[in-house]
A and B are shown apart, each in its own frame.
Chain A
Amino acid sequence: MRFIHIADVHLGAVPDLGCPWSASREKEIWGTFQRVIGLVKKEKIELLLIAGDLFHRQPLVREVREVNYLFSTIPDTQVVWMAGNHDYMKKDSAYRRITWSSNVHGFFNRKPEEIYLPELKTWVYGFSYESREIRENPYEKVRPNGKPGYHILLAHGGDEKHIPIRKEDGAGFDYAALGHIHKHGVLVPDQMAYAGALEPLDKSHTGDHGLIYGKIEEGKTKIRFVPVACRSYLDADVLCDPSMTQLELEHKVKEEIDQRGRHNIYKIKLKGYRNPDMDFSTEALYGLGQVVEAEDSTLPYYDLEKLKRQQEGTLIGEYIRCFEGKLADKNNQVERKALFYGLRALMETEL
């Protein structure tokens, strides 16, 4: 049996609100979900597992109808879904208000249940969130029923406020399909994994995003992560040196963006040293591509030891001395900043 496991699609989310690409990102999330359904159809996948947070918020009836329509286009695939903490199952949830296509099976209650799929001889275990938070761990008590067939756990959570799932909770199941953690990750190889958000949803979601493709054969499960997101958030570190000018920096950043793909969204960080007499303008970097963040963490190029020796006894020397010993600790960022700001001001006004 072959299955696809997705989670945290967050339909309806609007990433990077205020950025020029925000609106198209909202559509792209729907687009990628459709692509997954297309993939399921094309590959004739037998089971589609959705481990919660299909919607970013409470879904609207028309939105659920759209989703149901998409599911109805893959009638040969069994779809099992649950509601997560974002789209949790309210009493009047839109999830409850539509008639689902016959191949779709949802968990509608907070009480753990088993859904049996006779076509696939598969049992899926799970439940839905009925509130934003669940602090206890009901998965502890969910165990395979021992009947012949495959046993799959569909679960959502992984932190203190949202069911602290442990590795042991997946024991005994052929596969535990997890959701909630947005970064893809395998807890137990081929046994228990987070699919991660289908599309990255904010700038902290660097790295690949996509789905888990799995196969259960003769009681053995194999899974593989398949990236399907249309864009990535990428860290772009630019190493600067004291001779670098603003325009040179801009060229370098643009080159980097061109090389790694203009469709991606970048977090730029300037590292290394800069000429003590200049500040880079990070504002200018935002215009060079889809840049969501630009941070300058370069240090002015001073030879502090030499400077201290040269300026011994003067105010500048004294000033350096004030911060001595505080710079070794990387956490003393304020001191570091103060040293360089003060030093620069003093050197500039030196008579």
Chain B
Amino acid sequence: MKITYLWIQRFGKLKDREIVLKDGINVIYGPNESGKSTLHSFIRGMLFGLPRYRGRASKTDPYTRYEPWERPADYAGSMNFEAGGKNFRIDRNFYKNDIRESLVCETDGEQLSLAQGDLEMLLGGISESVYDNTVSVGQLRSETDEGMVWELQNYMANYEGAGSGEVDVQEAVRRLKGKKKEWEARREKLEKKAALREELIENRIAYIRQEKGKLEKQLENIRMEREKQEEFLERLHREWEDTERLKRQKAQGQELKRQGEKQRETRRWKREQENLRNAGWQEEKLEQGKRRLIYMVSAVVGILAGIITFMTASGMEEAAALSWRVFVRILGCLLMAGGVFGIVFVFDMISHHRHEEEEQPQDESVRQEGSRKEKESRMEKESRAGEEYGQQDCIRAGLENAKEKLSCLRGREEELCQQIEEKSTEVQNLTENKEDLPSLTDEVHACDLEMKGLELAIETLGKLSENMRRRIGHRLQSRMESILDAVTEGKYNRIVIDENMKVYLWEWNRQVALYQLSRGTVEQVYFALRMTVSEILCEESLPVLLDDVFAMYDEKRLGQTLRWLAVRGGQIVIFTCHKREMQMLEQMGIPCNVIEM
């Protein structure tokens, strides 16, 4: 693209001014305040319009800055340029109440639309910010050296972002990471599901274990009962043997009595049966024994008390009243009589009871079960009484009863053991089920695959953009080096750009940071960088506008730079307030189009 003609109706201090620009180097010369920078702004305004800010900021916006003092309605102009072999004209009226703009292709008369971005297309897709950062080169604005270095550094960092092309890699990577998180969540859910399944089985196992525990407790009780029963049986057995021996001894001496005894035996056996059906009989025996003992004791105590009372009465002092003495004596007699009566009653009861026992065993049959001890004591008594046969029958029946009970207990014990064993098997089976749970590996694997895919995508993207940056960085570096080499006559021909886009120069064999360089050299690095970036970023070669760029250059480097610009070609517009550029170009025989403001 080349700007060929500018017409300024009114723009800042400029009015009704025509300027013709040519290919190659154009020098716009004028003293300070002559309108060079205004012209520079006019070109920018022609390309991108004049932005207006709102509110307080509007006082300093470019529109206000260049609004003509007189006849503001004439705030307008036009620019002719050539691009792609065709001629175009832009007309703009900036005046706020009458904003007009048009883009016409003069070659074929076609009306183009600025609003729809036709101009941008002609400029090779270059945006306002790229224009500001590349082809339109001014001096570094900073006053101080330090600030200037920082400004350059910042510019480099921004350039890095622009370098990766038209996709937002960071955003893409962020999305991929989000996707990966989604899959991670899904994987976690699966794991939870697996845990839940295990829990299902574990709960079941816990329940069965609990049941098993209950059964075990029951078993323990039964076992204890069984052992007691066994002991009891053992004792009965011994007793049985004792009576057996006794029986043998008696049998010899009692041959004669046998007939009678036999009758009694049957009777007794019957009674025993009854008794055993309800062993409470023994309880009754105990009660009666106790009662007898109490009667006996109280009778004896009565007699003793009677005697003591009587004795006391006889030993009483004369002084005591006669009636009192008589009373005590009568009391003693009564007590003794009571005691004697009691003893007689007890003996009578015993003999009566014994008789009853023999005759009416059924009467005692409806009683509670008795303790073994009582049974034993009764047996002893009975053996003393010489009734071995009856006792033996009783033992035999007891034995049978106990045996039956024992086998019942044993059966229950065995049953419980089996139940417990079943529970153990169940627990074991469930444990195996848990171990053999079809793992969710397939599903988890699928998640892993997606995640791996995403990881690879992220990695590849990272590498690619890094590569691309490095490649551009490399291009940038080598081009900058060649420019700097030309400008500094070979003094600096190596540049290092680190990963943070910090720039260092090599001088002989040492690395020099930007802040260690002279202001002029930093300006030259900046110039080289801008020139390079404009080459890389702008498809269409655009005119390079250099606004007072060379003020800090010495003669030698200025000469080198101008020579380099002449070789570079393309349209170059140098704004300057010095004559030395023109003189130097003339000296070097480089043709240039001089426009005096």
State the A residues within 8 Å of B (CB): 12, 14, 17-18, 56-62, 92, 94, 97, 202-203, 293, 295, 314-316, 318-319, 322-323, 333-342, 345-346, 348-351
Contacts and interface: CB of A to CB of B under 8 A. Distances in A.
A337 B433 CA distance: 36
Contacts of A295: 446
Given A18-B193, A60-B426, A314 B167 contact: yes
A303 to B, nearest CB: 19
Contact of A348 (B175, B425, B468): B175
Contact of A14 (B166, B433, B443, B450): B433
26 contacts: A17-B437, A18-B193, A18-B197, A57-B425, A57-B429, A59-B425, A92-B421, A94-B425, A202-B438, A314-B165, A315-B464, A318-B468, A322-B464, A333-B449, A334-B452, A334-B453, A335-B456, A336-B453, A337-B452, A341-B179, A341-B457, A342-B458, A345-B461, A349-B171, A351-B167, A351-B168
A292 B179 CA distance: 25
Nearest to B419: A61
Q: Which 5 A-B pairs have the closest CB atoms?
A: A337-B453, A57-B429, A338-B456, A342-B457, A345-B172
Contacts of B167: 314-316, 346, 349-351
Contacts of B460: 319, 322-323, 338, 342
Interface residues of B, number: 46
Q: Which of B418, B422, B426 has the most CB of A within 10 A?
A: B422
B21 interface: no
Interface in B432-463: 432-433, 437-438, 442-443, 446, 449-450, 452-458, 460-461
Contacts of A56: 429, 433
Contact of A342 (B172, B426, B437, B438): B172
Nearest to A295: B446
A315 B169 contact: yes
A271 B438 CA distance: 25
B173 A345 contact: yes
A333 B422 CA distance: 49
Interface in B11-36: none
A87 B175 CA distance: 53
Contacts of B426: 60
A351 B172 CA distance: 11
Given A61-B418, A61-B422, A345 B457 contact: yes
A346 B418 CA distance: 69
B464 A318 contact: yes
Nearest to B172: A345
B206 interface: no
B37 interface: no
A92 B424 CA distance: 12
Contacts of B172: 342, 345-346, 348-349
Interface of B: 164-169, 171-173, 175-176, 179, 193, 196-197, 200-201, 418, 421-422, 425-426, 428-429, 432-433, 437-438, 442-443, 446, 449-450, 452-458, 460-461, 464-465, 467-468
A42 B550 CA distance: 111
Contacts of A203: 438
A315 B164 contact: yes
A345 B172 CA distance: 5
B518 to A, nearest CB: 39
A62 B437 CA distance: 25
A319 B464 contact: yes
Given A62-B422, A350-B168, 8 more contacts: A57-B433, A94-B422, A334-B453, A338-B453, A338-B460, A342-B461, A349-B169, A349-B172
Contacts of A319: 460-461, 464
B425 A334 contact: no
A275 B428 CA distance: 51
Contacts of A61: 418, 422
B574 to A, nearest CB: 34
A86 to B, nearest CB: 9
Contact of B200 (A18, A314, A335, A351): A18
Nearest to B468: A315
A94 B193 CA distance: 34
A60 B425 contact: yes
Given A322-B460, A336-B453, A338-B460, A17 B197 contact: yes
Contacts of A323: 460
A259 B450 CA distance: 32
Nearest to A12: B429
A17 B200 contact: yes
A18 B194 CA distance: 9
B436 to A, nearest CB: 9
Contacts of A322: 460, 464
B503 to A, nearest CB: 25
Contacts of A342: 172, 176, 457-458, 460-461
B466 to A, nearest CB: 11
A41 B208 CA distance: 36
Contacts of B200: 17-18
A264 B428 CA distance: 31
A348 B175 CA distance: 9
B176 A345 contact: yes
A274 to B, nearest CB: 15
A316 B437 CA distance: 45
Nearest to A314: B165
B429 A341 contact: no
Contacts of A334: 449, 452-453, 456
A92 to B, nearest CB: 7
Contacts of B176: 341-342, 345
A60 B418 CA distance: 10
A125 to B, nearest CB: 29
Contacts of A315: 164-165, 167, 169, 464-465, 468
Contacts of B169: 315, 346, 349
A207 B461 CA distance: 45
Contacts of A94: 422, 425
A153 to B, nearest CB: 29
Contacts of B193: 18
Contacts of A335: 453, 456
A61 B433 CA distance: 19
Contacts of B421: 92
A8 B432 CA distance: 17
Q: Which of B164, B193, B421 has the most CB of A within 10 A?
A: B421
Contacts of A18: 193, 196-197, 200
Contacts of B438: 202-203
